[in-house]
Structure 1
Amino acid sequence: MTRRNWKSWVPRSPAEAMEGCAQRALDKYNRGIERLACDHLGQHNASSLYKWMGNGRLPLTLILPLERACGVPLITRYLAAAHGKLLVDIPTGRKCQAQDVQQLQTVLNNAVGALLAFSDGKQSAGQTLDEVRAGIETLAWHHGNIQQHDHPQLELGDPDDE
């Protein structure tokens, strides 16, 4: 089984998004369901979170705390994709590093590879759309970063963000 690319993976349902949040929190921060429910969502036990994950009906007020606890906005990403929208991090106008350009090149190369694999019938439409969406979002971030270059902003993000 290959590792999931959390930066570009788009869940296909609310339940899948919540399961992805739980898996990411466990993999990255060693936060299990009980700890997520009690420490981050303010619940008395994990039974409510299990129920919400099962039926995909997490209360709106708990979406941000759950995404914060896992470090990736998977539920928000699902909602944006369901409405045909892209989710782009707010550019800060900081100077690009070589690593940023190399990441862009990798994401775009993966998108082109996915298009070729799809046209050959070797890859599903969903996987191809995820790769193309990741390429467009990365290019959009660079576009906004260049626009913001003359007026750089403070980077107020989480230091654990990837």
Structure 2
Amino acid sequence: MTRRDWKHARANSVVHALRLCKEFALVRHNLSVERIADRMGVTHDSLYKWLGNGRMPAILVPAYELACGCHYVSDWYGAAAGRLVVPMPTGRAVSEADLLAVNSSCAAALALLTTFYADPTRADAAVATLEALRAHLEQVAFHHHNVARYAAPELEF
């Protein structure tokens, strides 16, 4: 059995997203469907039904994701609505290497974008371009979060 790269896993349907969450909970947290249902406060029969047909009530999606420890369903709903979903990073100290990494990822993304627009029929160029753009946007989101923290500082109690 090969290890799944959970960080780069993307769902292609709501049923697939629900199952990815279930598999993540099983692999990472050793949670069965019964234990997930218990943490959500529902019966395991209901959870099995929702996993089978993809019709989980929207009010229960956050509880399901909290029980599983991942957010594949929310990410899929955002992507299905045409939104780019980037996880909000946690703040940490920034080094000069981090700022250089943003510059180099921007340059790499632009180079791949230029290659893609020169010949958009190449499938490998599209996949590499999407991954480079996503990586760059995640880095920019990290710095956005850090700057926003200074605009509204957190108070220590």
Q: TM-score, normalised by structure 1?
A: 0.67
The equivalences for 1:1-162 within 5 A come to 2-38=2-38, 40-44=39-43, 46-90=44-88, 94-96=92-94, 121=122, 123=124, 131-132=131-132, 134-148=134-148, 150-151=150-151
Question: Relative contact order: is structure 1 or structure 2 higher (C-alpha 8 Å, sep ≥ 6)?
Answer: 1
Task: Give me the whole-angstrom Cα distance separating, in 2, the residues matched to 1:69 and 1:140.
Answer: 29
Structure having the higher Rg? 2
The one-letter amino acid of 1:148's match is A
Q: Secondary structure at the match of 1:150?
A: helix
More divergent stretch after superposition (57-66 vs 129-138): 129-138
Q: Secondary structure at the match of 2:7?
A: coil
Q: Report the structure, 1 or 2, having the larger helix content.
A: 2
Q: TM-score, normalised by structure 2?
A: 0.69
Gaps of 5+ in 2: none
Pair 1:59–1:27, CA change in 2 (3 A)? same
Q: Is the 8 A contact 1:86 1:133 kept in 2?
A: no
Pair 1:131–1:111, CA change in 2 (3 A)? farther
The one-letter amino acid of 2:7's match is K
Q: Secondary structure at the match of 2:94?
A: coil
Work out the number of aligned pairs and report it: 151
**Superposition RMSD in Å:** 4.0
Pair 1:11–1:48, CA change in 2 (3 A)? same
Pair 1:86–1:122, CA change in 2 (3 A)? closer
Task: Give me the whole-angstrom Cα distance separating, in 2, the residues matched to 1:102 and 1:35.
Answer: 45
% same residue? 31
Pair 1:37–1:109, CA change in 2 (3 A)? farther
Task: Give me the whole-angstrom Cα distance separating, in 2, the residues matched to 1:84 and 1:110.
Answer: 24
Q: State the 1:121 CA deviation.
A: 4.5
